């Protein structure tokens, strides 16, 4: 009888641990998105949850096997194992690491004359990264980390290219802050889906030969590294622009 009671007790314990880790994960995500905690603390908490989750998953599997043998507490042990496996698996699959090389959070298709932000400046919190481009040092870091980034060349005349550039930005879900056809400048804010980080984007359309050249710059407001997000954003934009016609 004591063995059966022990199996049920351990099953309930691991189920409680699984619920506790899920609650902590929800707090880290919701708290970061709503300003209840800063993103550094949220990232640190998620790291701790992942480490504890791995250990708890191993224990829950052992408890599940024990409970199956004694036919007590199986539902709790099975539920804990599933919850922990999903939690740990999701964190592992979504774990992001910066590309090898210098840390960078400001990516542009024009390293010599990067587009300049104006309209988004009033929207940026006081603790945001500097809006000014970092110059040759940042350009050298980008060449090393993201050599694939380049301008978009289009056969469209500038007015048509500008309209397509604006439409693609809207289709990608960016919040358009300013769009001035006379200067060829579009400024927007893109919000990441998970932690709701806001990154600033500026698009510049200029004449180039018989068509147009479209340059972009994507800048993270927070963090020393963007984990490759800005480069991925520009690459995705280029693909959408070319697919649009």
Q: Does domain 106-243 have CATH number 3.40.50.920?
A: no
What are φ and ψ of residue 183, in 5° steps? Answer: -105, -10
Written as six digits, the tokens of 126 are 């006081």
Q: Token digits for 100?
A: 């090898």
Burial (CB < 10 A; 0-12, 13-18, 19+), residue 112, is exposed
Chain centroid offset of residue 160 CA: 31
Q: Give domain limits for the chain.
A: 2-93, 106-243
Tens digit of pLDDT at every position of the chain (245 positions): 455 568 788 888 888 998 998 888 888 777 766 666 666 677 677 778 888 888 989 999 998 888 887 777 788 889 989 998 988 887 776 665 666 778 899 999 999 999 999 999 999 988 899 999 999 999 999 999 999 999 999 999 999 999 999 999 999 999 999 999 999 999 999 988 766 788 999 999 999 999 999 999 999 998 888 888 999 999 999 999 998 76
Q: How far is it, in rounded angstroms, from Cα 229 to Cα 98?
A: 9
Separation CA 185–CA 174 (nearest Å): 15
Please give the helix or strand (H or E) that residue 114 lies within, else none: none
Question: Phi and psi dihedrals of 122, rounded to 5?
Answer: -65, -15
């Amino acid at each position: 009888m004591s063995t059966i009671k022990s199996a049920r007790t351990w099953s309930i314990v691991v189920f409680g641990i699984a619920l506790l880790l899920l609650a902590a994960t929800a707090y880290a995500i919701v708290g970061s998105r709503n300003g209840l905690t800063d993103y550094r603390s949220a990232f640190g908490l998620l790291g701790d949850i992942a480490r504890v989750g791995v250990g708890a998953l191993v224990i829950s599997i052992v408890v599940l096997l024990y409970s199956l043998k004694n036919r007590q507490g199986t539902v709790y042990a099975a539920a804990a194992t599933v919850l922990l496996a999903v939690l740990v698996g999701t964190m592992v699959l979504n774990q992001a690491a910066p590309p090898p090389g210098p840390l960078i959070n400001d990516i542009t298709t024009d390293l010599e004359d990067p587009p300049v932000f104006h309209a988004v400046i009033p929207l940026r919190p006081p603790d945001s990264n500097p809006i000014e481009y970092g110059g040759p040092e940042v350009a050298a870091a980008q060449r090393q980390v993201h050599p694939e980034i380049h301008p978009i060349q289009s056969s469209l005349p500038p007015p048509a290219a500008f309209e397509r550039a604006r439409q693609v930005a809207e289709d990608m879900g960016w919040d358009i802050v300013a769009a001035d056809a006379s200067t060829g400048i579009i400024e927007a804010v893109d919000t990441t889906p998970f932690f709701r980080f806001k990154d600033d984007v500026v698009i510049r359309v200029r004449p180039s030969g018989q068509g147009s050249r479209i340059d972009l710059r994507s800048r993270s407001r927070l963090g020393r590294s963007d984990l490759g997000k800005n480069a991925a954003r520009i690459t995705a934009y280029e693909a959408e622009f070319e697919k649009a016609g």
